[in-house]
Structure 1
Amino acid sequence: MIAKASSILAMAVLLVMVLSVLSCSDMEQSKMEGGNSEKQVEQVTLIYSSYLLDKAQASKVYYDAIAEFEAQNPNIKIEADFIQNAGYMAGVKIRLLGGVQMDVFDTWSPSLFEEFRKLNNNIYLDLSGLTISNDFVPNSLKPVTIDGKVYGVPEVMHSDGLLYNKTMFKELGLSVPQTWDEFLELCDKVKRAGIIPIAMDSDWSTPQFFWGSIMSNNGADEEWTRKLEQGEIQISDPIFVDAIQKHKEIIDRGFVPTGWMSMKHEQSKDLLGQGKAAMMITGTWDIPSIMERNPNIEVEFMMVPGEKQTVPNINVGTYRVINAKTEHPEEAKKFVSFMNSKATQQKLADGALAVPSVISADSTNPVVANIAALVTREDAKLYWPHTVSTESLQVKIQEGVNKYLAGESLELTLEEIQQAIDSVRE
């Protein structure tokens, strides 16, 4: 009996030792795999830099989209890096040249895309392999395609010109003008009613949306810009001079606020939203923030009418790109594919009242339908200032026009702008 008991005890001790070894092995394996029985997926953080992420503006749809992406991809966190419009070009350049982590970022025009590319020809990651590249409207990828490779993808589309208080138009019996003369008559009528015809401000980028639209009416396009920059035509060409003179005319006739040179863009929005102005110089992207100021009015877009023709212009609101130096290229591609997909673009379009650049995307919003009917017309042209080769040159042209609108002589303005164009070619 004693021998049998001893044998049983020995077997028990051996079993405990085996279990102990197995337990230690499991604990060691658990430590090696981060404390879980299954290997954890690496957590990745992507820095997304954009001018679209201003929480004070109508950017909630972008944060909602980011949250949805993170929910679908729990191993990827998106860190939003908001840079204001006015300092966006410099902000991105500082980050890129300073080696600050930037994974995904936005450009608002082909010229800004080229501006960043001049820092380094290999600054962008090749996105040719993204399956969504086949879904965009014709030619939308052309500005970001280099030697047959695609380096950016378009988001929603806008148009530039005038927003107007549709509710006020109905109350005053006003109609959307179809010609330049009709437009001037409309402004006269509104002014006589004691209302500011056109809200306009001094923010450097604002005036371009008016005279830049007239450039399209006058026939300016990518080919015209190429000839201008190559010296085949001068800035004194009637296409340009007529556009800025028409803009000066609405100032000289008192159709804009008397203190426009000291006004900011948000103040222009206030004038339109509060019913103190009938129209406003801007683009369709401002509709949501104006509607937030006064949900009781209808705000819609109108083209700046021309003398012989009125041509809609297309402003691709954003081209999304990936920094070639990102340490997480596959995760960045996944994020871009999500943000620029049909499903997300439809949500962004409804929230921002814009037109999806995805062919099969659609929107039931009547305001968006109105804009879509314009930017998809066969005669629609790429918004003229965005055809200028770089953002730096575009800014110099805009600043020259702003001086003219503020009182500088036409001759001096044209001379200064021509010098800026010539200096780039030298």
Structure 2
Amino acid sequence: MNRRAAVAAVALVWVAIVASACGGNNPSGVSPSGGAPEEVTLSLRHTQIKETTRTRLQILENAVRKTELENPGLTFKLEGIDEIVNRDQKLKAEMTVGNPPDIFEVFGGSDLKLYVKAGRMLDLTPIVEELGIRDKFASLDEFTVDGKIYGLPYGGYSEAIFYNKKIFAELNLAIPRTWDELLAAADRIKAAGYTPFGLAAKDGWVSGMLWNTVMERNVGIDALNKVVTGEAKWTDAAFVEGFRDYAELANRGYFTEGALELPYSDQGAQLLTGKAAMVFTGTWDVSRFTGEEAGQLQGRIGYFAFPAIPGGAGDQTSINASYSNGFGFSANMSEEQIAMAAKFIANFYTEEVQKETLVKAKVLPSMKLSDLSGIDSLTAEILQVMANATSSWQAYDAIVQPSVGADINVGLQRLIGKVSTPEQVAAQIQESQDDANASH
């Protein structure tokens, strides 16, 4: 089914869905014509395979089970896969040949735009409008292309600095508000025998988180958007300065020794075992930082926004926060599959499910909540930091083309390993940017 046919099918299916809703449920499971309900199967791929995401998976499974029970003849086939493997390998290969799962986790932004351009994504606009949930989302920007909705975020995030309040109190450190204050605090932390910034950068995207904010402080988010249009270059003076600032953190020995050999899971462990005073990461780690693994540090992990870099062109009190993790739906689905996918959306994207996900799985909601009771102290602190930010922006890998994002990650690893200079890294990334821009 091509994209236009899929959109037409959605509209037709919704006539049937609305009529069905008006007539009430059919608990017998018998079709209106008297026959057995039609068998429909939906494949659904998720990335909730880690111990830390068990609760999130359970919430998803509950929504799936509810949808199956309400719709006799419907069967979901769930597949769990590593997030990086899904994003960088399997899903890309499937999109190339046109055989993705019916429902699948996908990143909004640049990834989604490529799949929409290839005609692989189902236009969800009619479903979202009929359910009346468009305005209930905090933002659908990263899943909207040319005014049409091609995916729905299931959670939000922000990235900033998690810190060990016990170490900060021991060293009588205040939360740094400027770049110089951050460097001074890191020097004292290092002198006391702690690692200032826990880092486990075997996977390149991990080092990209901190760098992303350092670069935004230097150049501003508009400049990051302009490298894609060719109006700005990575070799411009302000961009090179951003690479220099990041390299300074590595050159001062603030990162974990041997960070390039360590898997991401080790980064949070460095904070929770008291080896590192700070880690720059996303709020998806909150469940870990508030769970049993935190031990005596439960309630003693805090969160603060990255400090200002004086003279920088960015918004110095902004934060990287967005809603880019979500579910996409294949344009290959039949009318019957689309109808059942709509039933899943109706059950999964509710305020009740979002509240449960926030309280139990510690995932920031992608939908507006009227009740925030029951949240833990760290989550409350995060929400306050986000509320205090003057603006928010997407991560770099949702802005630049995937090939450029991959080369940024490699370049940062080379800075951490001290095998390339900031100028060399900027030049290499610009070459990649030129190639990516020329191919579009």
TM > 0.5 fold call: yes
Contact 1:216 1:384 in 2 (8 A): no
Question: Does the CA contact (< 8 Å) of 2:121 and 2:331 recur in 1?
Answer: yes
Aligned-partner Cα distance in 1 for 2:395–2:239 = 11
Determine the structure 2 residue equivalent to 1:304: 306
Instruction: Give, in angstroms, the shift of residue 48 of structure 1.
Output: 1.6
Describe the shift of the 1:369–1:158 C-alpha distance in structure 2 as closer, same or farther (beyond 3 A): same
TM-score where L is the length of structure 2: 0.80
Closer, same or farther: CA 101–43 of 1 in aligned 2, 3 Å = farther
Aligned length: 386
- Are residues 392 and 57 of structure 1, via their aligned partners in 2, closer, same or farther at CA, if it must alter by over 3 Å? farther
Cα distance, 1:219 vs structure 2: 4.6
Match of 1:149 in 2: 148
The answer to whether 1:59 aligns with 2:60 is no
Match of 2:434 among 419, 422, 426: 422
Verify: 1:411 aligned to 2:406, yes or no.
Answer: no
Deviation at 1:156, TM superposition (A): 1.7
Per the alignment, in what secondary structure is the counterpart of residue 207 of structure 1? helix
Cα deviation code 1:369-390 (max 9, x no counterpart): 3222333456222134044243
Of the two, which has the highest radius of gyration? Answer: 1
In 1: Cα distance, 2:384 partner to 2:38 partner: 46
Q: Please, which of 333, 344, 347 is the counterpart of residue 335 of structure 1? A: 344
One-letter code of the match for 2:213? S
The normalised TM-score by structure 1 is 0.83
Instruction: Return the offset for 1:350.
Output: 2.0
Which whole-Å CA distance do the structure 1 matches of 2:261 and 2:421 have between them?
20
3-state SS of 2:61 partner: helix
2:396 equivalent to 1:395: no
Instruction: Judge conservation of contact 1:102–1:326 (CA < 8 Å) in 2.
Output: no
Write the distance in 2 (CA, Å) between the matches of 1:185 and 1:258.
20
Greater mean alpha carbon deviation, residues 263-272 or residues 171-180: 171-180
Q: 1:232 to 1:96 in 2, by over 3 A?
A: closer
Question: What per-residue deviation string (whole Å, max 9, x for no partner) do you get for residues 105-149 of structure 1?
Answer: 12234122124334x134333334312112112xx2223222322
Structure 2 CA distance for aligned equivalents of residues 108 and 147 of structure 1: 17
Question: Structure 2 unaligned runs (5+)?
Answer: 1-28, 311-315
Q: Residues 227 and 94 from structure 1, CA distance in 2 versus in 1: closer, same or farther, beyond 3 angstroms?
A: closer
Q: Which residue pairs with 1:217 in the alignment?
A: 217
Code of the residue aligned with 2:44 in structure 1: it is: Y
Contact between 2:59 and 2:353, CA under 8 Å: does it hold in 1? no
What's 2:256 paired with?
Answer: 257
**Offset of 1:296 from its aligned partner?**
2.4
Residue aligning to 2:44: 48
In 2 relative to 1, CA 109–248 (structure 1 residues): closer, same or farther, beyond 3 Å? farther
1:88 is aligned, of 82, 86, 89, to 86
Structure 1: tracts of 5 or more residues without a match: 1-32
Change (3 A) 1:362 1:370: farther
Distance in 2 between the 1:362 and 1:103 partners?
A: 33
CA deviation vs aligned residue, 1:216-247 (integer Å, no higher than 9, x gap): 323522x3233212222211234422332222
Measure how far apart 1:158 and its partner are: 0.9
The whole-number CA distance in structure 1 between the counterparts of 2:184 and 2:93 is: 48
1:173-201 Cα deviation digits (max 9, x unpaired): 33221111111111111112211111112
Distance (Å, rounded) in 1 between the aligned partners of 2:387 and 2:237: 28
Q: Decide whether aligned partners of structure 1 residues 83 and 116 sit closer, same or farther in structure 2, where only a CA change above 3 A counts.
A: farther
* Conservation of the 8 A alpha-carbon contact between 2:163 and 2:303: yes
SS of alignment partner, residue 154 of structure 1: strand
Q: For structure 1, which segment, 71-80 or 303-312, has the greater mean C-alpha deviation from structure 2 after superposition?
A: 71-80
The Cα shift of 1:359 comes to 2.3
Note closer, same or farther for the CA distance 1:376–1:330 as it changes in structure 2 (3 Å cut): farther
Question: Structure 2 vs 1, CA of residues 109 and 126 (structure 1 numbering), >3 Å: closer, same or farther?
Answer: closer
Partner Cα distance (1:168, 1:46) in 2: 50
Q: Is the 8 A contact 1:114 1:391 kept in 2?
A: no
The equivalent of 1:134 in structure 2 is 135
Opposite residue 372 of structure 2, the aligned amino acid is: S
